Chain A
């Protein structure tokens, strides 16, 4: 199996249909397949161990992804936002590589003569030039398709690998071939080095849904592209959605014309915790749009559970607290995926009891260059903490590594944050473990006061937690700040918050 099959099938079914719109240029499925075959010829000539991308999204990302697949060489999109020292370390780990993008930075950080470095324009031009004579035969696809460095929010980045078999299984299990009507278009604004960015390309191409690529997210550019190209689908991370809604609010305030989003049928989101208030707001603002919350990890080839449009509307409109609470859930497992919650000894836990989330399925790689994390029965320990309710809905409560262990008692930061967030003067809150002489660890709480409110009283917050939870959950220290630290995908950087308490 080879993921290049998806592009081959699309190009076979409708070669002249527009597959990709990027920076105003339109590419057909036949254009992209020709470019991928030319790229594969270039990769084979280069005799490299990896194909890397150090660049924003563009047609080059599509040609590199499928070109690497056709040539049977792992594709490694790199995070261009990394600091020099971190990026240099990753570059050293993938040599010899064909590296597409910011060549000057590569030369400066990793002057390795074994690498072949090409700019985006050179890569696309060479791929097109080689396309005519390039072999059409694809590699068997028995090995690694994609190698992604994990974001390393808790430790040094690990090298996650996704095999062709994992990704083919994911796409065949979730997407119907050519299911999208020709007018459909998916707005892709997640970066190319994130699993969501890769999955978006694979899913859209197999569904034959035109890709509208937004290389650098900005709310006005997103709204403009969605309106002018009549986007029917979009994937966003929660921070993007918050900024889009804010920008729309400013347009209203200024009396400016609202962008025409009447074609926008579906918005999917994931990648970080969605504030409940924000999703309620979005459901009101886009009354005819279907929202889907997708939960997945790099190691699981993207989505393993989802909360669909009908479930969003049912929860949004319900007075039943159990149904309403589902807006805070990531939904139910895909039909092709199994999910279990286990305790520290590996025992499966009953509904409602929190523990570590385990995932199993053909799309789940759970594999790193260094080792496989799968257990003997093929289960992958995600290191995410959560529970499944009586109706099978999965709720996340943070990373297992974020659990606060106070005097031997496990405390999930999420339960404290959820209580504190109900205070009218609290916009955001995060609970982290802080060292405690008496308990080993104790709860540190950091709060962002809501705009227009004065900071809430520290004792009042402690009293709320004591009343709603129990005394062991009460924060030992409370800090106030203007903003919490997030990475560009909307993941809260708890490691950085801990350093604030250390000062």
Chain B
């Protein structure tokens, strides 16, 4: 999957833009995400229902995957069943 691809959740309103990725299934609310929105949107599974936040970047422990949330939703993000974490970035002073 190439950077810039937008993926939609099958379990909530979440949409992400892929910044970087490797091999593995990107999921939201426990269900695989896809470029098209499914006609029937389900609900997040209980284990992946912490929600996504607009503008946050989500990463895996190895730093292989990085997703930017461009639309928030009730599901939370995972790759092959392993939850992604919000990327912790030290705030920088505005420079332009």
Contacts and interface: CB of A to CB of B under 8 A. Distances in A.
Interface string B56-96: 11000000000010110000000000000000011111111
Nearest to B56: A177
Contact of A203 (B3, B71, B90, B94): B94
Interface residues of B, number: 19
Interface in A268-303: 268, 270, 290, 292, 294, 296, 302-303
Contact of B4 (A140, A178, A335): A140
Contacts of A110: none
A268 B4 contact: no
A227 B94 CA distance: 20
Contact of B95 (A142, A270, A335): A270
B38 interface: no
B50 interface: no
A179 B96 contact: no
Interface stretch (A5-13, A123-131, A145-153, A349-357): A5-13
A186 B94 contact: yes
B55 A177 contact: yes
B3 A266 contact: no
B77 to A, nearest CB: 16
Interface in A1-44: 1-2, 5, 8-9, 12-13
A140 B18 CA distance: 13
B19 interface: yes
Contact of B55 (A9, A140, A209, A296): A9
A306 B92 contact: yes
B17 interface: yes
Contacts of B4: 1-2, 140-142, 164-165
Contact of B54 (A2, A5, A177, A334): A177
A200 B17 contact: no
B55 A200 contact: no
Contacts of B56: 177
Most buried by A among B57, B68, B89, B93: B93
Contacts of A196: 96
Most buried by B among A172, A173, A179: A172
A174 B92 contact: yes
Nearest to B2: A142
A302 B92 CA distance: 14
A268 to B, nearest CB: 5
Contacts of A309: 93
A309 B92 CA distance: 10
Given A175-B92, A176-B91, A335-B89, 12 more contacts: A142-B4, A164-B4, A165-B3, A173-B89, A177-B54, A177-B55, A203-B95, A233-B94, A268-B95, A296-B95, A306-B92, A306-B95
16 contacts: A1-B17, A9-B55, A9-B70, A142-B4, A164-B4, A173-B89, A174-B95, A175-B94, A177-B55, A177-B56, A179-B91, A199-B96, A207-B94, A268-B96, A292-B94, A306-B95
6 smallest beta-carbon distances between A and B, as pairs: A177-B55, A294-B95, A1-B4, A199-B96, A303-B95, A292-B93
